[in-house]
Chain A
C-alpha cells in the first residue's frame, strides 16, 4: 500500500503541471493523463533516446510522465466531453493548466463538474490565477520567472551580465504548490467529505519563493542586489565560491567559527604540508586554543579576532588551490565545515552518497528491450515507498483499459 493508493487524479496534459502529476503518480495515485488527439506537444521535446527523434523517444516526456496512464479525449467534441465527464465521475482530483476560460466555454469547469462528482478537488494552475486577466497573456517558464522575482536575485557581481534563471524551476515551483494544495484538500476531504476548487498562480508561487528579496522589501523597504554564487544582499558580502586545483568550484560556505573548527583546519593544513606556506598559520594556532566562544560582532574591530578569522579564510583558499573540488569538499566536511562541491547534475547523480541512498531507479522499457536508470525519490517514506510503477505512456496507450473501466462502472451503476 502506498500513500495515494486508490486516489484517482485526472491530469489535463500541459507542460507546467507535468511535474505535479508525476509527484502524485510516483506516490501511488492513479494518474490518468488526458491528451488531445495528436497528443501533448511535449512528446516531441528533446533530448531523444540515442539522439534519434521519433514517437516515444523523448527523454523529456519519459521523465515527466512516469507512473501515469494516457487516454485521448477530444474535448472540442461532445462525445469526447461526455467521456471526460464519465471519467471525472470516477476521479478524486482534477489538475489542469488550461487557458483560464477554456473549461467554462466547454461546460467542463468546476461548477459543471461538481454536480457530477460532488467531492471533486479541482486544482487550476494559471500564470496569475483564475481571476486575473493577465493569465490570458502568452507565457513560458522564463517569462513566469522574470515576472515574479527569481532572476532579479541570480547572476553575477558584474551587472553588465544578464540575470539568470534556473530552467523549468518556475513550472516546478508551481507544481510543488499544486501538489501541496492537492494533499491538503485530500486530508480535509478525508475528515469532512468535502471537495473544493483550488486556484494556483504560477507567478505568485515564484513570488513567495525568493527568500530575502521579498521579506527585505516587505519588512525594511530595501532592495537586494545579485552577487556571483552567493546570496543577493543589500550590501556586498565576501565571495564564497572558490576555484579549486582541478578547475572546478566549491562553495566555501561558512568559514571556521569556533576553536574546534580552527584546530581541525590547522591539522588538515599540516597533513597536506601547507602550514609552512601560510604566514597566517600562527593565527590558526591562536584560534584553535582560544578560550570560550568568539564574539563574532568583533570581527573587523578587534585585531586579534579579525586576524584569526582572516587566517581561516586564507587557509581555505590555500588548500583549495592545491586539491580537487571534491577533495576540498570532503576535507572541509571532515573538519566540520559546511562546504559544498559545485557538481554538475551528472556528477551529483554519480556521487557515492546519492548512489548509497538508492537514488538510481531502474525502469524497464519493454518496447525497447532496455532498462533505463531514472532519478529516484525526493523523499524516503519508510512506510509507503515512492516508486516508478510504469514507464511514461504512449499516446492513448490506456484508452481501452480506462474506457473499459468506465463502461464497467456504468454497468455496475445500472445493475
Chain B
C-alpha cells in the first residue's frame, strides 16, 4: 500500500519522546525520516537509546526498548558535526529534504551553523520545526525542561489531584506524547502551506504553551469570572464540573489495586445505577434530584464506594454497562494490551523487526485509513545503521567513500 506521506523527506534531529513521537507518526505513513545522531557521543543525547526496558540481558545504545518504540520505521545515520566534511554532508541532505525537525535546547542547531537563516539558504522552501519546553522566544527560552517540568509549569500537574492532597500529577510524560502530536501537526500544517504556496517557514513550538491550551474553560473562568482553580475543595480530578455529573468518579473494588470508573450523565443514568445497586441509600432524599445529588457528592461517593468495594471490577463494569450506565474498569497494562481483545483486534501493538532485538511489539497508531493506512515493519535504527544506504542511495557516495568517512570519524 502506498503511504500517505511517501513524497516527503524529513531531516530529523529529534529524540526522546517529545520529538521522536512526532516523526514516528510521519514515518508510519511513509515519510522518509532520516535520524541524524552524533557518533562521538554514540547518540546518547537521546537517553532512551540505552535505558530500560530491555528485551533481554544485553545492554547498550542499540538496546533501549523505549527508543525502539518511538523510532520504529525511521532511518538512522551518524554525522560528527564537529568536522567540516560532516557539515557538507548535512548540507547536501538538507538540499533534498522537505523538513528539518529538532527538539534540542534553543541554539544548538545554530551553534553547529544550521540556524534557520542558513537552512533557508540551503533550501529556500524548507520547513523548520523546533520544539522545546519554553520555545525559542521569551524570557524562559534558555531554561531546561523535560516532560514533568512542562506539566508542572503549565498547570497540568496541579489539576491532576485530589482535594487536601499534594498534586498527583501525571505518572508519565503526557506532554512529551502530546508535545509530539503538536509537533506532527505543526510539520504537516507547514507542509500544507508549502503545498499551496511554495513557501517554507519556521515553527516555534513551546510545549508549555501547547499544554496550557488544554485547560480551556478553566482559563476563561479565570479571565471572565476571576475564579482561580487554586481554591478550597479543588482540584478534584475525578469529578466532572463541565458538564456537571454525579456520581462521577473512580471507586475501589475487590482485588489487588483494582478500581472502577462510573459516570452518570443524566437522571436516567442515575436511576439505572440505583436500580443495579438497589440499596436503601439510593432513595435518600438528597440524591433524588440532580442539584442536591451533585451538592452531596461526598456522601454519595462514600455510599457508592462501600457498594463497589467488595465487588470485582469487571463484574461491576458489566452490570452497569448492561443497565446503560457509562462504566469502565481501570485497566492495568496487561489487561488493556493482552486481555482486552479490542486493542489487539485494532492492530494497536504491531510487531516490528529490530536489527539486534529481533521481533518486538511497539505502540501502533490508533487510526486506520481506508486508502493509505500506516505501517511499521521496521524497528528503530541502531546507531548509524543506515549510513551506507542513505549516503549511497540518496547522496551518491560510493561504498568505499562511506567506509573512508567512517575511518576519518566523519560518520
- Shortest A303–chain B CB gap in Å is 25
- Tell me if A59 and B165 are in contact (CB < 8 A): no
Contact between B29 and A164 (Cβ–Cβ < 8 Å)? no
C-alpha spacing A144/B349, complex, angstroms: 19
Q: Is B184 an interface residue (CB 8 A)?
A: yes
The A contact surface, by secondary structure, is mixed
- Check B203 for interface membership: any CB of A closer than 8 A: yes
Q: Which residue of B lies closest to A337 (CB)?
A: B144
Interface string of A183-212 (1 = CB under 8 A from B): 111111011101111111101110111111
Question: CB < 8 Å: which of A204, A222, A223, A340 contacts B152?
Answer: A340
- B250 at interface, CB cutoff 8 A: yes
* Interface range for A: 35 or more
Residue count of chain B within 8 Å CB distance of chain A: 154
Q: Is the CB of B240 within 8 A of A163?
A: no
Across-interface contacts of B340 in A (CB, < 8 A)? 147
A273 within 8 A of B: no
Residues of B close to A191: CB separation below 8 A? 7, 195
Given B173, B192, B348, B367, which contacts A187 in the complex, CB threshold below 8 Å?
B192
* A413 in contact (CB, < 8 A): no
A139 on the interface (CB 8 Å rule)? yes
Chain A residues contacting B208 (CB-CB under 8 Å) are 348, 353-354
Taking a contact as CB atoms closer than 8 A, the residue among B4, B138, B193 that contacts A188 in the complex is B4
Q: Name B134's closest neighbour in chain A (CB-CB).
A: A353
Contact, CB under 8 Å: B155 / A344: yes
Query: CA separation between A348 and B216, bound complex, in Å?
Result: 13
Within 8 A of B (CB), among A348-372: 348-349, 351-354, 356-357, 359, 372
- A159 closest partner in B (C-beta): B257
Number of A-B contacts (CB under 8 A): 520
Binds A, one of B81-89, B356-364, B400-408: B356-364
Interchain nearest-CB distance for B239 vs A (Å): 8
- A3 CB contact (under 8 Å) in B138, B168, B181, B190: B190
Complexed CA–CA distance, A73 and B92 (Å):
54
Any chain B CB within 8 A of the CB of A220? yes
Query: At the interface, yes or no: B75 with Cβ under 8 Å from chain A?
Result: no
A47 to B227, CA, bound (A): 10
Known interface pairs A251-B149, A333-B144, A380-B204. Does A217 touch B333 (Cβ–Cβ under 8 Å)? yes
Q: Given known contacts A218-B361, A251-B152, A347-B155, is B173 in contact with A211 (CB within 8 Å)?
A: yes
- Given A45-B243, A143-B262, 6 more A-B residue pairs with CB atoms under 8 Å apart are A62-B220, A146-B260, A149-B331, A154-B169, A373-B223, A378-B182
A-B contact pairs, 10 of them (CB 8 A): A63-B217, A142-B328, A164-B168, A167-B237, A190-B192, A250-B152, A346-B230, A354-B208, A377-B209, A379-B189
